[in-house]
C-alpha cells in the first residue's frame, strides 16, 4: 500500500478528540487532523503543557486553536469530568483517538489503585470511550481508534489479577498486557457495536518503532538516567519519526476504505513505512477472552458501553 498524509480527505465539519496530544504520536496526529480542517480537542493531564501545545499547533498549521480538555487517564474521576466537559460544549464527536499511554514505568498505581499501565492504557481509555459514546453515536460516521503496539505479541493472556499486578510486577509484561487489552477492547467494541446496529467503527493501530518520549519516560520515572540515555540514543538511531509513526492512526481515523474492527500498522515488517492492515495475535482475537476482559473492565471502571 502506498499512502501518506496527502491522501487524507478533507475533514471539514468533523470533530476529533485526541488523548496524549502534547507530544509524540498524539501531537503529530492532532497536527494532521487540523491541517485537513478537523476541529480538534486536546485531552491532556498537564494543563500548562496542553495550552502551550494548542498555541503551537495553531501556529504551525494555520488552523483554529484546538480546545483543551483536562484529562488524567490514571484517575477515573478525571475521565468522568472530562467527558462531562466535552458533552457540555459539544453535541457530537466524530473521531476519538485513544492515543495516550505509559510504557515500562516502575510499579505505580492509578488514583483507584490499579497498576498504572493497565489503568492508563486500557481502563482509562475504556471509560473515556464509554462516557463519550452518546456523542459518538450522534455523529454520522463515528470512529474510535485505539493505539496498541506490536508488544501485544509478547504476552499470552491477561487476567483480572493483572489490573492490580496481584501476582508480582514486571514492567514489560504489564506493558504488553495493556497493549493486548487495547486490541481485545477494539475488537469487542466492534462486535458489540455491530450487534447493536450501530454505525460506529472501532479500529486499532500501532506505530511500529517510532521515536517519541515514551521509550525514555519509564527509565526517567525510575531515576535511571543512564538507561534513559542509552534507550534514547538507540531510538533516535533506528526508529522512524513520530510523524511517520502516526500514519497508521491517521489512516484508521480517516481512510474511507477501512474495514470494521481492523488493525493497522506499518507495512515494512510492522516496523516502519506506509500503513497496512496487520493481524493481531490469536490471543488478541479470542472473543471469549475479550468478553471476560470487558466484564472485568466494567467492574473496575463502573461504566459500560453497548
Residue partners of 72: CB distance under 8 A and separation at least 6:
45, 78, 79, 111
Assess whether 84 carries a catalytic annotation: no
Catalytically annotated residue among 114, 149, 171, 175: 175
Which CATH number does the domain 9-300 belong to among 3.30.70.140, 3.40.50.300, 3.40.50.720, 3.40.1360.10? 3.40.50.720
- Tell me the domain boundaries of the chain: 9-300
Q: Give the global pTM.
A: 0.90
Q: What's the CA gap between 283 and 36, in Å, rounded?
A: 36
Q: Is 44 exposed, middle or buried (0-12, 13-18, 19+ CB in 10 A)?
A: buried
With beta carbons less than 8 A apart as the criterion, state whether 94 and 14 touch.
yes
What digits encode the pLDDT tens for the residues 23-51? 999 999 999 999 999 999 999 999 999 99
Q: What's the CA gap between 156 and 168, in Å, rounded?
A: 17
Catalytically annotated residue among 78, 171, 178, 179: 179
DSSP category for residue 10: P
Assess whether 178 carries a catalytic annotation: no
Assess whether 49 carries a catalytic annotation: no
Q: In the prediction, which pLDDT does 215 show?
A: 45
Q: How many CB atoms lie within 10 A of CB 33?
A: 30
Catalytically annotated residue among 78, 114, 148, 174: 148
> What 3-state class would DSSP assign to 184?
helix
What digits encode the pLDDT tens for the residues 142-165? 999 999 998 999 999 999 999 998
Amino acid at each position: 500500500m502506498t499512502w501518506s498524509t496527502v491522501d487524507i480527505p478533507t475533514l471539514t465539519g468533523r470533530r476529533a478528540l485526541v488523548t496524549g496530544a502534547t507530544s509524540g504520536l498524539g501531537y503529530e496526529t492532532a497536527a494532521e487532523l487540523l491541517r485537513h480542517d478537523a476541529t480538534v480537542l486536546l485531552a491532556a493531564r498537564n494543563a500548562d503543557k496542553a495550552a502551550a501545545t494548542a498555541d503551537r499547533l495553531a501556529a504551525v498549521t494555520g488552523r483554529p486553536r484546538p480546545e483543551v480538555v483536562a484529562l488524567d487517564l490514571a484517575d477515573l474521576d478525571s475521565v468522568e469530568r472530562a467527558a462531562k466537559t466535552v458533552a457540555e460544549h459539544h453535541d457530537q464527536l466524530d473521531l476519538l483517538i485513544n492515543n495516550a499511554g505509559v510504557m515500562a514505568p516502575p510499579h505505580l498505581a492509578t488514583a483507584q489503585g490499579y497498576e498504572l499501565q493497565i489503568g492508563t492504557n486500557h481502563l482509562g481509555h475504556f471509560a473515556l470511550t464509554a462516557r463519550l459514546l452518546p456523542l459518538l453515536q450522534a455523529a454520522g460516521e463515528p470512529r474510535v481508534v485505539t493505539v496498541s503496539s506490536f508488544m501485544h505479541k509478547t504476552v499470552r493472556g491477561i487476567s483480572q489479577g493483572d489490573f492490580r499486578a496481584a501476582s508480582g510486577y514486571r514492567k514489560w509484561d504489564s506493558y504488553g498486557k495493556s497493549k493486548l487489552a487495547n486490541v481485545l477492547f477494539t475488537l469487542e467494541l466492534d462486535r458489540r457495536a455491530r450487534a447493536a446496529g450501530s454505525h460506529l467503527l472501532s479500529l486499532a493501530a500501532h506505530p511500529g518503532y517510532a521515536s517519541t518520549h515514551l521509550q525514555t519516560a519509564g527509565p526517567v520515572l525510575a531515576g535511571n538516567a543512564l538507561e534513559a540515555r542509552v534507550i534514547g540514543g538507540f531510538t533516535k538511531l533506528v526508529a522512524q519519526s513520530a510523524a511517520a509513526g502516526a500514519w497508521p492512526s491517521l489512516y484508521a481515523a480517516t481512510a474511507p476504505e477501512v474495514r470494521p474492527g481492523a488493525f493497522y500498522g506499518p507495512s515494512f515488517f510492522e516496523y516502519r513505512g506506509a500503513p497496512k492492515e496487520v493481524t493481531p495475535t490469536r490471543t488478541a482475537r479470542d472473543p471469549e477472552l475479550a468478553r471476560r476482559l470487558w466484564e472485568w473492565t466494567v467492574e473496575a471502571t463502573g461504566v459500560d458501553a453497548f
